[in-house]
Structure 1
Amino acid sequence: MGVVSPLGNNVQTFWNNLINGKSGISSIDTFDVTDHKAKIAGIIRDFDAEKILGKSEARRLDRFSQFALAAAEEAWEDAKLDLNNIDAERLGVYVGSGIGGIETLIENIDTLRQKGPRRVSPTLVPAMISNAAAAQISIKWNAMGPSMSPVSACAIGNTAIGEAFRLIRSGEADVVFAGGTEAAITDLSMASFGNATALSQRNNDPEKASRPFDQARDGFVMSEGAGILILESLTHALRRKAKIYSEVIGYGASSDAHHIVATHPEGKGAFNAMRSAIRNANISPDEVNVISAHATSTKVGDISETKAMKQLFGEKAYQIPVTANKSMLGHMLGAAGGVEAIALAMSLKEGIIPPTINLENPDPSCDLDYVPTVARQMNMKTGLSNSFGFGGHNAAVILKKYEDETICSNKVKL
C-alpha cells in the first residue's frame, strides 16, 4: 500500500497520525486567498517530486500524476513484487482521478492569454487528461494488462478497488494497482466550490473545520493526495509468500439517480451500494464490525449516510463503530476512497479504529457510534468502506482481516 496525504507521505506516518487524531488541515499559502470564502485545505507538505521522480519526469507531469507515482512506488516496494517473475500481460492498473491535471490546464490557459498560442506546452494534453496517472504507472512498471481510469467523482478509489477485485476474480489478471489520486487545490477550484457554499469557512481554526456528524459542521474541506493499493489473487500471493494486509471480499456500486451534486436525502443509493457489497461478499450485515464512512462534513450528506446505515443494519447500526477519516484528512476527492481503504486495512490488521475528531456536539439526526475524539482498540474481522461522489455515484467495498485458511478462488488480497 502507498499513501501521499496531508497526514504523511508514507503509510506508517499516515497511520500513526490518523490513530493519534492529528488534523492535516491548514491555511492555504500556495496562492492568494484574500478574496476567497474558504481559505483552508489539506495541503501536501514536504513532497519533493524531483527527488522522488527525477527532474525531467517531474517537470512533465501534473501534480496528481506525481502523487500517484509516488504512492505506487511505495506500494510496489511494500509488496516486494519482482517484475521478472510477473506476467506483464496479467499486471493491471485501475487508478482514477476526479479532476485530473487542472493545475497544468490553468497554467497553460494563463500562458495562452499572456504569451500567445506558440508558448502553450505541447505536453498539456498528456499531462492533464485524467487517465494520465494510470498510464504513467502502466508505463513505469510495464503493466500490459487491463488499464482503466474510472471517473466516478469522489467514489473513484472504491470504484477502482472494486473493479480491480472483479478483474482478478474473473481470472483476467493476477496483480492490479488500484486507487485514486487528486491535486485540485487551485485558485479556480476553491473559488467554484466556495461559491457553491460547499466548503467550510471555519478559516480561523483550520484543524477544527472538518467535523463530520457534528451539529456545527458547515461544509467539507478540500484536500489532495493519493492512495494506491496492490491487489493480488490469493493463490498468486501465497505462492510467493507475500505479506497480506487483508482480503477484499465484496464490492457494491449504485447510482442515486437523483441530482448532479446533492446526495439522495434518504441515502437510497448509499443503502443500495452497501447492501450490494454485503451480498457480493456472501456475508450477513451482522458480520460487519466497523464502517469507514464517506462522511464529508456536509449538512445533508452526513445525515443521509446515517439514514442508509440505519436502514441496512437496523438496531445493529447502533452497535457498529463508524469512523470518519475526513475529519483529519479533509476530502481528498478522487483520492479519498483509496486512502480510506488503506486506513481500513490497517484497522483490521492492527485492531485500532481511528477517531472521528471534532465531534463535540453530535447532530441529533446523527446518533450512531462515530468513535468520537479518541481512537479505539477493538478486535475486528470485517470492515465496510463507503465512497460517494457527484453525479450520484456510490461504491462500497468490504475488507476482511486475513487469516491463514483454505484457499478460496473468489478471494483477493491486498
Structure 2
Amino acid sequence: MTARHRRAVITGVGAVAPGGIGRDAYWDLLTAGRTATRRISLFDPAGFRSQVAAECDFDPLAAGLTPQEARRMDRAGQFVVVAAREAVADSGVELPGADPERVAVSIGSAVGCTTGLEEEYAVLSDGGRDWLVDHRYGVPHLYGYMVPSTLAVEVARQAGAEGPVALISTGCTSGLDAIGHGVQLIEEGTADIVLAGATDAPLSPITSACFDAIKATTANNDDPAHASRPFDGRRDGFVLGEGSAVMVIEELESARRRGATVYAEILGFAGRSNAFHMTGLKPDGREMAEAVRVALDRARLDPGDIDYINAHGSGTKQNDRHETAAFKRSLGQRAHEVPVSSIKSMIGHSLGAIGSLEIAACALALRHQVVPPTANLSTPDPECDLDYVPVTAREHRMDRVLSVGSGFGGFQTAMVLGRPAAAHGEAA
C-alpha cells in the first residue's frame, strides 16, 4: 500500500473538559448548550481585570491516577494522560499487542506546564520576594515542568509507544497541528497507531496578568455564564479555559481488519501564517482562507461539500470578523448556507488544547449528526452575518465538516473531517 493511499481515521476519543470529565459528559454539555464559565476558583482572581474562566472539575485520583502520578505530573500532564487512557479504551485497540515501534504520540500545548512552574516559582522565591531563588525547595520533578515535551513523554509512557513522539507548540493552533502531524505519520507509513491531541492548564495568575495587559479577555465578571459571546455584538473578549482531548488515529484498513468503530476520517489538513503581527489579524482573512482552500484541495473536495464549520470563534471582534471574512473568501456562497458554531461559547478558550477539543466535538457531531450551538448569541454582530447556530443545538445531516484555528503569531490552521463512508462516496 503506497503512502498516498493510507487513510487516517479516528477510532477513539477521550476528553477532560470544563463542565464534564470524559467524552460523554463533554458531549452532553455541548449539545445542551450549557456554559461552564464561572468565577475563577483555582486562585484568588481579585485585582485582575478578567476574573472568570472555564475550569475543569478535576480530581486526579478520582480520574484514575495514582498518588505518585498525581504528584509527578503538572495539571496539564494529568489532563492529557486521563484523556489518552479514555481514548485508548474507547478505541478498543490492544496496545500491548501492537508493535511498539509502530505506535506514535503527537501532543500539542501552547503554554506547557504553566501551573506547576508558577506554583514552584512562588515557593522557591518565597512568594516573589527573593530575586535569587533557593533551588533546594524545588520539587524533584521541576525540570520536567520546564520541558514541554514531558507532556508527550507521559502519554508515550502510558501507551508503551516507541515510535515518533512529539510535542507541537504553535500557540492556539497546537491542538489542530498536533493532530495534523499524527495524520501525516499515518499517511506516510511511519506509524499505524497515533495518540494525538493536546492539553493546556493555563489558569494561573501569570496567564491572567498577560491577557489582562492586552485586554484580550472579557471583563464581564458579573455574569460569568454569559461572558463568552462569540459573534455577538456585545462581546468584549474571550474567556480562558483549560482541558485536553486525545484521539486514537489509525490507518483505515488496519482499523477495519480489527473491526474498530470509526468516528471520522481526516481528509485534509493545512496550516498558514500571516507573517504580519504577533496578535493582530488582517481583516480580509486571506491567510485562514488559504489554509481552508489547501485543506479542501488535499481532501479533493469543493466548498459545496462542507456541511458544518466548527469555527475558532474566540469572542473577540477582531477574530470573529476575520474568520467570517475567511469563510466567505474560501467557500463563497456556501459560507451563507452551512451552519457555523463556536464551542468556546461553552468551554472557553483553552489555548493550545482547544483545537483538540474542537476536533473531538467534530468527530462526535459526525457520529450523532448534531451541530453544537453557539451559546449566548442573542445580539448578532451585523458584520458577522452567517448562520452561527445560536443558543440551541441542531440536528443536521453532515457528511463532511471543517474545523479552523487561529493563534497568536499569525498561525492559521484548517482541517476537514468526513463520515467514514461518505468521505469518499462509499456506501454507508
TM-score range, shorter chain: over 0.9
* Secondary structure at the counterpart of residue 238 of structure 2: coil
Superposed, 1:210-359 pairs within 5 Å as: 210-359=228-377
Structure 2: runs of 5 or more not aligned: 1-12, 127-132
Aligned: 1:129 with 2:141: no
Aligned: 1:5 with 2:23: no
- Deviation by residue 1:51-101 (Cα, 9 ceiling, x = unmatched): 521001110110000000000010010011112331110100000210011
Letter in 1 for 2:401: G
Paired with 2:150 and 2:227, the residues of 1 have a C-alpha distance of 32
Query: Could you tell me which residue of structure 1 aligns to residue 4 of structure 2?
Result: none
Query: Could you tell me which residue of structure 1 aligns to residue 85 of structure 2?
Result: 73
* Secondary structure at the counterpart of residue 168 of structure 2: coil
Structure 1: runs of 5 or more not aligned: 409-414
Question: 2:289, 2:327 within 8 Å by CA — same for their partners in 1?
Answer: yes
Aligned: 1:43 with 2:55: yes
Paired with 1:311 and 1:332, the residues of 2 have a C-alpha distance of 27
Alignment TM-score, normalising by the size of structure 2: 0.93
Question: 1:25, 1:41 within 8 Å by CA — same for their partners in 2?
Answer: yes
Letter in 2 for 1:77: A
Please provide the CA RMSD for this pair. Answer: 1.6
Letter in 2 for 1:333: L
Alignment TM-score, normalising by the size of structure 1: 0.96
- Deviation by residue 1:352-387 (Cα, 9 ceiling, x = unmatched): 001111111111110000011111111110000011
Aligned: 1:395 with 2:413: yes
How far off its partner does 1:285 sit? Answer: 1.1
Aligned: 1:103 with 2:115: yes
Question: 2:263, 2:364 within 8 Å by CA — same for their partners in 1?
Answer: yes
Aligned: 1:120 with 2:132: no
Question: 1:2, 1:75 within 8 Å by CA — same for their partners in 2?
Answer: yes
Paired with 1:2 and 1:50, the residues of 2 have a C-alpha distance of 16
Paired with 1:210 and 1:49, the residues of 2 have a C-alpha distance of 30
How far off its partner does 1:121 sit? Answer: 2.4
Question: 1:49, 1:66 within 8 Å by CA — same for their partners in 2?
Answer: no
Question: 1:213, 1:302 within 8 Å by CA — same for their partners in 2?
Answer: yes
* Secondary structure at the counterpart of residue 53 of structure 1: coil
Paired with 1:388 and 1:132, the residues of 2 have a C-alpha distance of 25
* Secondary structure at the counterpart of residue 270 of structure 2: strand
Letter in 1 for 2:218: S
Query: Could you tell me which residue of structure 1 aligns to residue 385 of structure 2?
Result: 367
Paired with 1:158 and 1:343, the residues of 2 have a C-alpha distance of 12
How far off its partner does 1:406 sit? Answer: 8.8
Paired with 1:47 and 1:118, the residues of 2 have a C-alpha distance of 28
Aligned: 1:158 with 2:176: yes
How far off its partner does 1:145 sit? Answer: 0.7
Query: Could you tell me which residue of structure 1 aligns to residue 197 of structure 2?
Result: 179
Question: 2:288, 2:412 within 8 Å by CA — same for their partners in 1?
Answer: yes
Question: 1:96, 1:157 within 8 Å by CA — same for their partners in 2?
Answer: yes
Paired with 1:314 and 1:36, the residues of 2 have a C-alpha distance of 42
Q: Which runs of 4+ in 1 moved over 6 A?
A: 404-408
Question: 2:285, 2:329 within 8 Å by CA — same for their partners in 1?
Answer: no
How far off its partner does 1:106 sit? Answer: 1.3
- Deviation by residue 1:298-357 (Cα, 9 ceiling, x = unmatched): 010000000000011112210010011101111011110111101111111111001111
Aligned: 1:63 with 2:104: no
Q: Which of 188, 206, 209 is the aligned partner of 1:170? A: 188
* Secondary structure at the counterpart of residue 220 of structure 1: coil
Paired with 2:410 and 2:166, the residues of 1 have a C-alpha distance of 20
Query: Could you tell me which residue of structure 2 aligns to residue 205 of structure 1?
Result: 223
Question: 1:98, 1:152 within 8 Å by CA — same for their partners in 2?
Answer: yes
How far off its partner does 1:248 sit? Answer: 0.6
- Deviation by residue 1:258-300 (Cα, 9 ceiling, x = unmatched): 1111223221221111111101101111101100000100010
How far off its partner does 1:206 sit? Answer: 0.5
How far off its partner does 1:404 sit? Answer: 8.2
Aligned: 1:53 with 2:65: yes
Paired with 1:46 and 1:63, the residues of 2 have a C-alpha distance of 9
Paired with 1:58 and 1:48, the residues of 2 have a C-alpha distance of 6
Query: When the two structures are aligned, how many residues end up with a matched partner?
Result: 408
Letter in 2 for 1:401: R
User: Structure 2 vs 1, CA of residues 272 and 406 (structure 1 numbering), >3 Å: closer, same or farther?
Assistant: closer
- Deviation by residue 1:176-230 (Cα, 9 ceiling, x = unmatched): 0111100010011111111210000110100101010000110000000001111
Paired with 1:84 and 1:59, the residues of 2 have a C-alpha distance of 26
Query: Could you tell me which residue of structure 2 aligns to residue 14 of structure 1?
Result: 26
How far off its partner does 1:50 sit? Answer: 6.5
User: Structure 2 vs 1, CA of residues 30 and 359 (structure 1 numbering), >3 Å: closer, same or farther?
Assistant: same
Paired with 1:129 and 1:296, the residues of 2 have a C-alpha distance of 28
Letter in 2 for 1:228: V
